[in-house]
Amino acid sequence: MGKSSLKMKQLPFMAVVCIVMLFVVYRTLKYQSYQEEIDKQWNFREDEKASSETSGNLKGLPRGIIQATSDFELRPLWSPSSLRSKVSVYSNRNLLAVPVGIKQKHNVDAMVQKFLPDNFTIILFHYDANMDGWWDLNWTSKAIHITAQNQTKWWFAKRFLHPDIVSIYDYIFLWDEDLGVEHFSPSRYIEIVKEEGLEISQPALDPNSTEIHHRITVRARTKKVHRRVYELRGSTRCSEASKGPPCTGFVEGMAPVFSRSAWYCTWHLIQNDLVHGWGVDIKIGYCAQGDRTQNVGVVDSEYVVHKAIQTLGGSDDPTKVSNRQRTTPVQFLMAFRVIILFHLLTHSILTSFSCVLFTNQKHGVAAFDQRVEIRRQSTWELEVFKERWNRAIAEDKNWVNPFKSDKKRTRQRRKTNQFS
């Protein structure tokens, strides 16, 4: 009897506690909702302010005359009178942009010959400033040529492939010049990308390519497309639990293909002053317009051969590079680590002997290997990019990492499968 009366006395107390807890939860949720509304209004005001500033700069123009975008379409200086009133309508247009040097003229010619029949606009970035050697090719006059001495693909892309300029193109192919396209069809590739819903993609690499850096880029002979790789050996372990690069949601920087929306995001990711682009490929999945494990993939049925011919700062004789022993991914990683360690250990020594090296240069001896200097700068830029990414995350309090809870979702999915 005493126990039951005690329980009866505790019931009102428990009810009060529950009411208080519900009230606290209600107030917390209401406050969070209020904060979200404030943030939305603030962001809206910021966007509205930017928009008003832009429109304010255009207030001298009637709204209907404003053209907010442009393109790379070539238009003649003159045309027959019967065609002057006709306005060209562009549809299913795509863009191929390639950094080129005269030493790779033959390979670039073969590449462009593949793309031109499929209604591609061609833009060549001449990093060696040599344009005269290209005019004997029958398609040269149909291409856009941009020249800047000793600049990289990402430097050109940041300056000349602004989203407003390439907005008419469905897909942007930003490729290196040393890719063999004997087994590649641009039209079939685009069909596959559309069918699979890939916002960011690349053709697979032939296993016999001269150089392969990441296992995920290797062609799977029995598949049309793959989005992940399984690798249980080496320093990079890729399993079903892997939810990020380079196991899934990853393409390499040598032959990426972007949808219009993905390129809009990627262009803003490219750092204006970091020309080599190291580190961008790891973060490129954030521009996949959704789940990177689904919207980023490698197309196996349309593949290319990576010839790995060094260009900027490379040998004058391409055959010396292309005929060298093939490098496996593991060998490359080991060699890369040794090179970086060697650079760090010898940097002070090289600096100490700068006077001697300069004297040798005056007597005709090369002061330094340009490839070594390029690799050193690339590594430095990678660290700078990482620091900027981490700093941007720390400073942007409203940014939510869309892939942060991947592991939690995986664990929850496993639990669900166990009990189902």
Asked whether the predicted pLDDT for residue 153 surpasses 50, the reply is yes
**Bond prior to 246 in cis (omega within 30° of 0):** yes
* More confidently predicted of 71 and 292: 292
Residue 85 confidence class, pLDDT cut points 50, 70, 90: low
Q: Is there a contact between 302 and 183 (Cβ–Cβ < 8 Å)?
A: yes
Helix, strand and coil percent figures for the chain, each rounded to 5: 50, 15, 35
CA distances, 305 to each of 111, 301, 390 (Å): 12, 13, 35
Mean pLDDT computed over 318-331: 41
pLDDT in tens, 6-54: 556 666 777 777 787 787 767 767 666 655 555 555 444 444 554 555 5
Cα 356 from Cα 37, distance rounded (Å)? 66
Q: Kindly state whether residue 39 falls inside one of the protein's structural domains.
A: no
The residues facing 147 across adjacent strands are 126
Percentage of the chain beyond pLDDT 90 is: 44
Most confident of 7-11, 53-57, 112-116, 370-374: 112-116
- Quick one: average pLDDT of 200-215? 88
What share of the chain has pLDDT > 70, as a percent? Answer: 69
Average confidence (pLDDT) over 269-274: 92
Report the C-alpha gap between 384 and 75 in whole angstroms: 42
Cα angle, residue 327 at apex, residues 321 and 329 outer, rounded to 5°: 140
CA dihedral 123, 129, 130, 131 (to 10 degrees): 40
Cβ contact 107:124 at 8 Å: no
Cα gap 367→359, rounded to integer Å: 8
| Residue 130 · residue 203 · CB < 8 Å | no
Q: Domain of 290: which CATH number?
A: 3.90.550.10
Predicted confidence (pLDDT) at residue 110 exceeds the cutoff of 70: yes
Residue 63 lies in a domain: no
95: part of which helix (H) or strand (E)?
strand 93-100
Which region among 31-45, 58-72, 155-169, 262-276 has the lowest average model confidence (pLDDT)? 31-45
Quick one: tokens of 34? 């209020």
- Tell me, yes or no, whether 365 lies in a domain: no
Contacts of 66 (CB under 8 A, 6+ apart): 58
Tell whether 110 is covered by a domain: yes
State the DSSP code for 188.
Answer: H
Q: Is the pLDDT of residue 63 over 70?
A: yes
H-helix or E-strand spanning residue 179: strand 179-180
pLDDT of residue 363: 46
Would you say 121 and 100 are in contact if contact means Cβ atoms under 8 Å apart? no
| The predicted structure's pLDDT at residue 90 | 60
Residue 350 has which token pair? 């090289």
Is 139 within the bounds of a domain?
yes
Which pair of tokens denotes residue 418?
A: 């166990």
Q: Is 151 helix (H, G, I), strand (E, B) or coil?
A: coil
Residue type at 99 in one-letter notation: P
β pairing state of 169-174 and 93-100: parallel
Q: Is the pLDDT of residue 220 over 80?
A: yes
If you average pLDDT over residues 234-255, what whole number do you get? 87
Question: Higher confidence at residue 23 or residue 291?
Answer: 291
Pairwise CA distance, residues 349 & 357, whole Å: 11
How do residues 157-173 score in pLDDT, each as one tens digit?
999 999 999 999 999 99
Torsion angle, alpha carbons of 180, 181, 182, 187, to 10: 170
Domain that holds residue 175: 94-306
Question: What is the reported pLDDT for 164?
Answer: 93
Question: Of 38 and 250, which is predicted with more confidence?
Answer: 250
C-alpha angle with apex 240: 236 to 243, nearest 5 degrees? Answer: 70
Predicted pLDDT at 309: 75
Q: Which of 96, 121, 71 is nearest to 174 (CA)?
A: 96
pLDDT of residue 265: 95
By mean pLDDT, which of 5-19, 293-307, 374-388 is the weakest? 5-19
In a domain, 268, yes or no: yes
Helix, strand, or coil here: 296?
strand
Kind and range of the H or E run holding 96 = strand 93-100
User: Length of the chain in residues, anyone?
Assistant: 420
Say if 311 falls within a structural domain.
no
Domains identified in the chain, total number: 1
- Nearest to 253, CA basis, from 236, 220, 278: 278
Most confident of 16-20, 121-125, 216-220: 121-125
Question: What average pLDDT score do residues 173-177 get?
Answer: 96
**pLDDT average, residue stretch 72-98:** 76
Q: Which residue has the tokens 């240069």?
A: 361
- Measured distance CA(175)–CA(98) in Å, rounded: 5
C-alpha 177/C-alpha 150 separation (Å) is: 15
What pLDDT shows up at residue 186? Answer: 96
pLDDT at 312: 63
Residue 181 is assigned to a structural domain of this protein: yes
Mean pLDDT, the chain, whole residue set: 78
Q: Which of 112, 109, 161 is nearest to 136 (CA)?
A: 109
Give the pLDDT confidence score for residue 33 in this predicted structure. Answer: 64
